[in-house]
Amino acid sequence: MKNLKQECIDLLKAQGINPISSIDFDVNGTVHSLSFEYIIETYMQASEELKLVFVTALKKSVNAKEMGIEKFFEGMGQLLLMTQLSSKFES
């Protein structure tokens, strides 16, 4: 049985999307680029329950085709950046 990370990457490839494609986020004038693969890898470090939620949501975004996938990764990337930036401010 495939692991969840590989399942996510395979879903992207099946849609003709390169997993190393990235999304740019402008945070206070600083551009942060996150690849789809990085976003997947980061969420795969979470609890089993969150991993399954991530994969299920990704599958639903695949059904919405490319725009759904892009919006999904924009949202997941924004959440990661907010989490990372807030932890820097708490330090």
Q: Mean pLDDT, to the nearest integer, of 25-32?
A: 88
Examine the pLDDT at 91 and tell me if it is beyond 70: no
Is the pLDDT score of 1 beyond 60? no
DSSP letter string, 2-51: --HHHHHHHHHHHTT--TT-EEEEEETTEEEEEEHHHHHHHHTTS-HHHH
Question: What's the whole-number average pLDDT of the chain?
Answer: 89
| Residue 11 near residue 65 (C-beta atoms within 8 A) | no
> In the prediction, which pLDDT does 54 show?
95
